[in-house]
Amino acid sequence: MRIIAIVNQKGGCGKTTVSINLASALAEVGRKTLLVDMDPQSHCAVGLAVPEEQIEQSIYDVLISRSRNEPIKLTEILWQISDKLQLAPASIDLSAFEQQMAGIADRQSCLDNVLSEMDGEFDYAIIDCPPAVGLLTFNALRAATDVIVPVETGYFALHGLSKQLETLSVLCERYSQHVEVRVLASMYDVRTKMAREIMGELRTHFADKMFTTTVNFNTKLKEAASFGQPISEYDPSSKGQVDFRSLAEEVISFEAKQQRHQIVNSLSGQLAAISSTADELMAAAKKPAIRAVQAPKTEKPERVADGNSVERAEKPGDNRDIDARLSNYYGVSQINDAIVFVTLYPRAGSVQIAGDF
């Protein structure tokens, strides 16, 4: 399960709008998606028409129950929004979470522990974070595999963004995890000169971290939220829906890159072991099989009849045993979803592969 935290300590940049509509867009293309609201304002429930008075338990109850040894399962609080989308709602109680967890060991991992139990149940978890860097955000970052930083293309967009990205990097390093952090330009109004200039600055300074997709300013997005619907339901033909569909496709495209990265890391270790073992076997195949024959020990050294104290043994089985063992390493094999080709050809000038995949 990929866990994407939507983070920005600055309010009003569209975190909840991105969280709701990205989760909905992922669900629309067939990905089982969990939307986790970690903001005490509970705007995800409002934006999806979940009545606040009917929320008996929230993500707060699930998290805090772990410290009281009376764990509440996440499945007990979920709301079914659509066929592929479920919501873990927040409540105002979350504002007391940091105080309640003071002194509790490993309190930054509460959400990570909860979501790890759901691995395999969902393809994606989208976490809407509060507009502050505190224990709630730490929990989201500790659990996340990816971070999206929505940035409105207004006057204050660039102010502090570099510092915020640096802070996110430090926090991720503290938790010893590799997290992909990307910047998403939101509320972009191409009609204004300032927005175009800010977008240019973002592309210049954060090119390697920017999404290709931009969420354009669209009144339909605000209307959809007021009606308690994602844009995909409120107006499927709107520009806002096109933007979030594009964002979902771009997010999904990173799946293959991450899988390749994981496979390469896995293969590098396995191939190193294969190479080492194969080298040992090849060395054994080339080494002459020699057995030293020592004359019986006597009080006086006796001359060996043939003048040689070494007898060459017969070659054991023409190296067939070694060849058989090497065949276990060379050839075609499958590791996870990858096909692996291993061969020994030091003089090769290129590699060409043909197959029916």
Whichever domain contains 63, its CATH number is 3.40.50.300
pLDDT at 1: 94
The answer to the question of residue 73 being in a domain is: yes
pLDDT over 90 at 28, yes or no: yes
Phi and psi, residue 311, nearest 5°: -115, 125
Structure token digits, residue 265: 């890391």
For residues 269 and 228, the model is more confident at 228
The residues near 278 (Cβ < 8 Å, ≥ 6 apart) are: 326, 329, 330, 344
For residues 255 and 145, the model is more confident at 145
Residue type, 352: Q
The residues near 199 (Cβ < 8 Å, ≥ 6 apart) are: 153, 185, 188, 214
How many structural domains is the chain composed of? 1
The mean pLDDT value for 193-197 works out to 92
The answer to the question of residue 307 being in a domain is: no
Q: Whole-angstrom Cα distance, residue 331 to residue 340?
A: 8
Structure token digits, residue 22: 């990205």
Q: Whole-angstrom Cα distance, residue 281 to residue 277?
A: 6
Residue ranges of E strands in 105-251:
124-128, 146-152, 180-186
The answer to the question of residue 139 being in a domain is: yes
The answer to the question of residue 294 being in a domain is: no
Q: Identify whether the C-beta of residue 4 lies closer than 8 Å to the C-beta of residue 125.
A: yes
pLDDT over 80 at 71, yes or no: yes
Residue ranges of E strands in the chain:
2-6, 33-37, 79-82, 85-88, 124-128, 146-152, 180-186, 290-292, 310-312, 331-335, 338-342
pLDDT over 50 at 305, yes or no: no
C-alpha gyration radius of the chain:
30
Total-model pTM: 0.73
Q: What is the pLDDT of residues 309-343, one digit of tens each?
A: 444 444 444 555 655 655 565 677 666 666 766 77
Q: First vs last Cα of the chain: how many Å apart?
A: 26
Residue ranges of E strands in 157-250:
180-186
pLDDT at 337: 63
Per DSSP bridges, beta strands 290-292 and 310-312 are antiparallel
Q: Whole-angstrom Cα distance, residue 222 to residue 204?
A: 29
Domain residue limits at 223:
2-247
Q: Whole-angstrom Cα distance, residue 353 to residue 342?
A: 12
Q: Whole-angstrom Cα distance, residue 2 to residue 33?
A: 10
The residues near 264 (Cβ < 8 Å, ≥ 6 apart) are: none
**Mean pLDDT, the chain, as a whole number?**
82
The answer to the question of residue 134 being in a domain is: yes
How many H helices and E strands in the chain?
12, 11
